[in-house]
Amino acid sequence: MLDTTRAVEVPEGITLSLPVAGYVSRALAFLVDLIIRFVIFIGLSWIFSIFDRLGDGLLLLSVFLVEWFYPVFFEVFWLGQTPGKKVMGILVVNDDGTPINWSSSIIRNLLRFADFLPAFWAFGLISMMLNRDFKRLGDLAAGTLVIHQREVISPQSNHDAEGLAPKTPLKLDEQSAIIAYSDRIERMTQARADELARYLTPWLQNSQGNQSSALQIVRMARWLKGRREKE
């Protein structure tokens, strides 16, 4: 099964799947950061212009510092996110899923220089396109991954139905499918919702009489979520 997640096993024996972020979201995050840095430089040159030639020197120094350490600073102190990454909902972590630290952040950001070659970050671009984990050269050297933040989908279900116990014990993925059905039913057309429910009709309780299969599944989801009784 093709997917863009990478499995990481933590010492507790749990396997996490990290959704790796690819070229498009990363490039856009980079563009946002580029614009922010540009604005910073304009602001600084405006401030330093007061100091005449000393200001020129100070500006050059601050350009150096911002250009090289802007990403490092944010990645270390802002849980792996620069402002651009925050906008795109991505973050940098180590290959094993742990938060990024000073050394890996410095390595991956110093190597932006290698990714820049021969012009306009072309090597980084090609590397991100061809690498299975969408890593650029800096990521390969530092052992870091850029991943998507999880999006929390708020359930829209406002059914006030009583919970209904499934007839047979269900496996984990089956339970989550039933809960997903109940969470997303509002966003489906009625026809599609009924069509999906019909797959389970033979198994659903006949004693519920005139209740539709869809409603029974929604009630089952409520039961699985722990709402066994009517409140």
Partner 1 sequence: MNLEKVTAKIRPRKQWEAIDLGVALAQRNLISLYKIWLIVTFPVFLISALVFHQYGMWVVIGFWWLLPLWERPLLHFLSRDLFGERLSVKQCVSAFFSLAKIQWFASLTWRRLSFTRSLDLPVIQLEGLKGNVRSSRLKVIHSIGSGAAVWLTFLFFFTKFTLFIATIVLAYLLLPAPMAEGLDFFEWVNFEIESPITVFSMNLLFYLSMSFVAPFYVACGFSSYLNQRTQLEAWDIELAFKRLAKRLQGLNEHASVRLSSFLVGSLLSILVLSSSVFSPSIYAQQNEPQTDNITSQNENVNSHQKAKKLIIKIKDGNEFHHREMESLTVKRDKDTEIDDSFNSRRSDSGWMSLISMFVSFIVEFALWLVLAVALIFLVVKYRHLIGGLKLPQQTKKQKPKTLFGLDVQSDSLPKDPWQVALNSIERNEFRSALSLLYRASLVWFIEHTSINIREGDTEAECLQKILRLGPKNSHQFMRDLTRTWRALAYAHIAPSKESLVELCHKWPAIMAEKIDSGDANAKV
Closest CB 198 distance from partner 1, rounded Å: 6
- Is residue 120 close enough to count as binding partner 1 by CB under 8 A? yes
CB atoms within 10 A of CB 221: 27
Cα separation of 91 and 148, whole Å? Answer: 6
> Minimum Å distance from CB 221 to partner 1?
11
From 50, 53, 132, 230, residue interacting with partner 1 (rule: CB under 8 A): 132
Phi-psi region at 209: left, alpha or beta (left = phi > 0; alpha = psi -120 to 50): left
Q: How many CB atoms lie within 10 A of CB 130?
A: 9
User: Does residue 184 interact with partner 1 by CB under 8 A?
Assistant: yes
Q: Which of residues 59-78 bind partner 1 (CB under 8 A)?
A: none
Q: Which DSSP string do the residues of 181-211 spell out, in sequence order?
A: HHHHGGGS-HHHHHHHHHTTTTTS-STTTT-
The neighbouring-strand residues paired with 17 are: 7
Of residues 60 and 165, the one with the C-beta less far from partner 1: 165
Binding mask 86-105 for partner 1 (x = CB under 8 A): --xxx---------------
Q: Which of 78, 129, 165, 228 binds partner 1 (CB under 8 A)?
A: 129
Q: Which among 8-16, 60-68, 69-77, 182-190 is the span making contact with partner 1, rule CB under 8 A? A: 182-190
